[in-house]
Amino acid sequence: MSIDQILNWLRDTTQIAFWMTGASLAVLSYRNAKVSIFQPAKNEVFKVQIAELQALLKELNWKSPVDAWEKAGLASSAQISLNRNFKNFAKDQHNAEITSGMDGELVSVGGIVSPNATGFRLIKGPADEACHSDTVDAHASSWSDYKWDIFDISDRFQQVNDQLESALNNPVIPSKVLTSIEDFHKELQKSAMRAAEDMEKAVREFPRHYPTRKSLDGADLTWAHNVREERGEKLFQALNDLKKSVRDYLQSDELLGRK
């Protein structure tokens, strides 16, 4: 190989190395610039996400299934529904107006409709009887076959439900956590449905517990809680799953900026 050829080869090689080095430096500079420009915005998003998740978990800081049953508003909702049906039973069965010291506290703000609801049904009362007597067999039969159409919900239940729906529509909540929030929201609805079914079983016992007008005096519905199967266990498990999802996200490589 001649000296001229060697020199040309060295020149071409040097130029190729120069342009490759320049291209590499340009790519690295762009990547570094991109990180430096967008990292502050990314950090701000994380801060907002953490604040939103902390606010949600603070509201759902339940320690046990019993705590979940109470603080989710399931206990108050079930009590409202039970009291309403008991008043209807007393009026229909014994033509009696009754009141409770809890009436002012237990206020319905809405209701969940049974998927099997058939609309309004006539429950025969004293005025519908062709022959007035002391027997209550016809009425007892009607209430013993009671099926729930509406399950009242309390203000507390509505607050929890609204907060979950707000979280589900919050664009800053990470998708990794949204699924767990949605599952928890569904379990809240299922828990209310199970509580309504438990209420249905209790209402069917009214004729047996209160066969006469006199038996309404000083009536206490505490016994109705003994037929309850919904006690917040599944809701509490769904809450633990949600908390784990949040913990996993906060400890993720994506959040910590690891590669």
pLDDT at 117: 78
- Two structure tokens written together for 22: 């320049």
pLDDT at 235: 97
Residue 218, CA distances (Å) to 46, 182, 204 in order: 57, 43, 20
Query: Cβ-count burial of 96 within 10 angstroms (0-12 exposed, 13-18 middle, 19+ buried)?
Result: middle
pLDDT at 238: 97
pLDDT at 132: 42
Mean pLDDT by 10 residues, the chain (259 residues): 57 58 55 49 71 87 95 96 94 91 84 80 54 43 88 95 94 90 96 97 95 92 92 96 90 52
Q: Work out the angle at residue 228's Cα, subtended by the Cα atoms of residues 223 and 233, and round it to the nearest 5 degrees.
A: 140
Q: Are 154 and 84 in contact (CB under 8 A)?
A: no
Query: Can you say how many angstroms the Cα of residue 207 is from the centroid of all Cα atoms in its chain?
Result: 34
- Token pair 């801060």 in the structure block, residue: 47
Predicted model pTM:
0.73
Strands, E, within 101-190: which ranges? 110-113, 150-153
| Distance linking the first and last C-alpha atoms of the chain | 49
- Two structure tokens written together for 152: 């009242």
pLDDT at 231: 92
Whole-number Å distance between alpha carbons of 168 and 181: 7
Residue 117, CA distances (Å) to 38, 121, 148, 222, 243 in order: 54, 10, 7, 27, 35
